[in-house]
Structure 1
C-alpha cells in the first residue's frame, strides 16, 4: 500500500465517522429559568419575596458588646466588671390574606459571657393576623421610659400568650391572656399560673400615653401602670407611676413607684437622659415574694444615660445608676455599650 492509498482510506473513514456523528447530534437542554430575588415594598423597607412564593421576608438584628460595672442586679459574677457579647437576628414573614396581612416572627438571641459560658435561646416566636397574636412574645409590661433608670415593669415580661389588639395610627387597645409559669411566686410555692392583662395607649400631637394593667390569678393580686411623654424645649419629659395590690407577676418590685426623666436632644447624634425613681415599700427583684408589702422600707434611685449615634446603625451608650433602699446597702451600677444594627 502506497502513501496515496493510505491517505485516501483515512479520509474515507473520517467521512463515515463524521456522518454518523452528524446523524446522532446531541441537543443541549435549555437552562432552567432563574428567578431572581424581588424587592417587596408592600410592608416597608427591607422585605423581599421568598423565591417561588408571594410571601415577603425581612431579616434584621443587631450585634452588641457591653461592659457591666458595679453591683449588677441578679448578677452572679464575682468581679466588679463583666464584658458580654450578644448577637440577635429576627425573621419577619408577611403575606396578604382576606383578613389582612398574616405575620410570622422568629427572634433568636445568642449571648456569650466568655468563650465557654454561652447560650442561645428563642427570644420570640409568634403569629399575628387581624389583630390576633399568639405565641411567645413580650407583654405591654416590657415597655418603659426611654432611659435606663426606671424600674416599672414585670420581673419577666416574655410569655406564651394570646392577645387581641385593635390599633390605628394614633391609638391602640387590647387584652391578653398570659401564661405566667416563670413569674413570681409566694414563699414555699412554685410559679405555675395564668394572668390577664389589658393595655391602651396612643399619641396626640407632642403627647403620648400608655395605661397597662394586669391581674395574676394564682397570686390573686394585680397592678396598674400609667406612662406619658411630652416634648418640651430641647427634649422629652417622661413621667410614670405604678401601683400593685400585692406582689404579683406583673409588678412585684414595690407596692408603688413613681419615675421621671428628661431626654435632652443635645445634638442630632447626642441624647442625655437624667432620671429619678422613688419606691414605696420596696421589695426588690427576687421571684420568690412575700404575701404582701407590709413592713418594707422605701427606696430611691437616680441615674444618667447618654446615647451617641456614631454613624448610621452604629451607636454607643453609657448608663450609671445609684440605688438607695432603706432595708439594704446602697449600690452603684452601670454599663458601656456598643451596638451595630442591621
Structure 2
C-alpha cells in the first residue's frame, strides 16, 4: 500500500465516523449591515446623527490645568471645598458637554448635559452636574446658568453673586440680534438673612442684543425671600485696536442676585494686540462694599479693584491665560491674587 492510498483511506474513514455528508457543507453567516455615522449639518459644525435615529448629537469640552496664587489657596478650587494656608494651589479640571437636537413641529428640541470633574490632588476630587436642561420654542427648564453669569471678557469685574447656576424655568424671545426673557429661579444656595432658610425663589428679567460694533444687556432680579433686588447694565463697543467694556450694578439690599456691594461700576479695555494675543486691563469701584453682619445689609465701606488679564492662543484649540488682581478698600486688608491657566478645548 503506497502513501497515496493510505491518505485516501484515512480520509474516507474519518468522514464515515463523523457522519459527514456531501450536502452538509459549512455556510458562512451573512454579515450584518453596518450603519456608519452620518454628519448632521443642520445645526452647525460638530453634530452627527445618532445611529438609527434622526437626533443630532455634538460632544465638546475642555481640559484645564490651573495654578492659583493668593492668600489661603490650598484646596480652594480643586473641588475639595477646603481652604488651606498655602499661598498657591494647582488643580485640574475636565469638562464634557453633550448637546442633542432634533426637529419637531415646535422647532428644534434641544437637550444639554454638562459634566465637570475637578481634582485638587489624587484624593480631593469631585464630579458634578454643571448643567442639564431642555430647550424648545424659547422655553428652557432645568439646571443652567442665568443671565447674571454673563460678564466682561477680563477677570477683574465682579458683576454677580457667587452662584449663578440655578434650577430654573425660563422663556426667552429672540429675533435677529435681539433677545428678551423672564426666568423663575430657585435660589437655595444664595444669600439669606439671619434666622431664615436659604430656600429663596427669584424672578429675573433680561434683554440684550447687538447693533453693529455695540453689544448691550440690561437685566434685573428680585429675590422674594430677602425682598431685595438688583439691576445691572452692561455694554461693549469696538474702539481702535480693542473693545471697551462698561458695566454698572445697583442692589437695594443683600440678595441672591448681587451681594457684593450696594452699587458698583466696572470698566475694561480688551486690546487685541495680535491675532493670538489679547491684553485686558480692568478696574472696578464698589460702593458700600460687602455685608454688615450686624444689620444684614451692606456696610458703609468702599473698595476698589484693578487687574490685568492676558490671553494667548498657542495653537488651534490650545490656550494660555494669566491674570493678576489687586483689591483694597476701607477696613479690609489689601489682597493680591491671580492664576495661570492652560486649556485644551475640543
**SS of the residue 1:189 aligns to:** coil
1:1-342 pair list within 5 angstroms? 10=9, 13=12, 21-71=21-71, 75=76, 76-283=83-290, 290-293=295-298, 295-342=299-346
Aligned counterparts of 2:124 and 2:103: Cα–Cα separation in 1: 42
- How far the C-alpha of 1:198 sits from its partner, in A, is 0.8
Counterpart-to-counterpart distance in 1, 2:219 and 2:34: 51
Please give the alpha-carbon distance, in whole angstroms, between the structure 1 residues aligned to 2:85 and 2:195.
28
1:79 shift after superposition: 0.4
Summarize the Cα distance change of 1:98–1:19 in structure 2 as closer, same or farther, 3 Å threshold: same
User: Cα gap change, 1:16/1:241 in structure 2, threshold over 3 Å: closer, same or farther?
Assistant: closer
Q: In 2, are the aligned partners of 1:185 and 1:289 still within 8 Å (CA)?
A: no
Offset, 1:15:
11
Q: Which moved more, 1:8-17 or 1:193-202?
A: 8-17
Q: Tell me how far 1:23 sits from its aligned partner.
A: 1.9
8 Å Cα contact 1:270-1:309 kept in structure 2: yes
Instruction: Return closer, same or farther for 1:29/1:266 CA change in 2, 3 Å cut-off.
Output: same
Aligned CA distance change for structure 1 residues 19 and 120 (closer, same or farther; 3 Å): closer
SS at match of 2:161: coil
Tell me the matched-pair count. 337
Listed as ranges, the gaps of 5+ residues in structure 2 are 77-82
Is the partner of 1:184 in helix, strand or coil?
A: coil
Distance 1:273 1:15 in 2: 86
Distance 2:21 2:280 in 1: 83
Deviation, 1:35, is: 0.7
State the Cα distance separating 1:190 from its structure 2 match.
Answer: 2.3
Q: Measure, in 2, the Cα distance between the counterparts of 1:28 and 1:238.
A: 70
Contact 1:72 1:333 in 2 (8 A): no
Calculate the TM-score normalised by the size of structure 2. Answer: 0.92
Q: CA RMSD in A?
A: 2.4
Aligned to 2:80: none
Residues 247, 289 of structure 1: 8 Å contact kept: no
Unaligned runs of 5+ in 1: none
> Does the 8 Å contact 1:84/1:114 carry over to 2?
yes
| Residue 12 to residue 341, structure 1, CA distance change in 2 (3 Å) | closer
